[in-house]
Structure 1
Amino acid sequence: METRVAEGLTQKELADRLGRPQSFVSKTENSERRLDVIEFIEMCRGMGKDPKTMLDSLE
């Protein structure tokens, strides 16, 4: 969520970029749903971020 907000994106805008419903982004951000590796990569790219850099920032 922090990255999405920092990029100036709403949940709806990110969801549109991903071709997913807004609830997908909401449930992910609220820890109601986990991302698989492919979804993580897609979400990073949807926010214009490098997946490896994002993963490294979690450590």
Structure 2
Amino acid sequence: MSKSAFTDAYASVVAAVRELRLEKGVSQVELARRLGRPQQFVSYFETGVRRIDLVEFVVIVRALGGDPKELFTELADAMPMDTTI
């Protein structure tokens, strides 16, 4: 797995998705059901065991009733210009 999965920048992506899930009052089990995936899928990306790609990000945020463009913009705006991969 790429080291970038453990950077502060990536951690902020995971934290934002998890925070959205909690704000919406959705359990990991319910989110997994909405995604048609096992609960471990949600647990793995929330704990950093598994990375989520851009397509998964969009699908997950939509499954939570969020706006992927809005959340992505917030994350991109908050990311330091010198962030590396």
Who is 1:48 aligned against?
65
Identity of aligned residues (%): 47
Who is 1:23 aligned against?
40
User: What TM-score does the superposition give when structure 2 sets the normalisation length?
Assistant: 0.66
User: What TM-score does the superposition give when structure 1 sets the normalisation length?
Assistant: 0.92
**Relative contact order higher in (CA < 8 Å, ≥ 6 apart):** 2
Structure 1 gap ranges (5+):
none
Which segments of structure 1 move beyond 2 Å, counting only runs of 4 or more?
A: none
What is the total number of aligned residue pairs between the two structures? 59
Q: Radius of gyration: which is bigger?
A: 2
Of the candidates 42, 51, 54, which is equivalent to residue 37 of structure 1? 54
Q: What is the deviation of 1:47? A: 0.3
Structure 2 gap ranges (5+):
1-17, 79-85
CA distance in 2: counterparts of 1:3 and 1:16, whole angstroms: 17
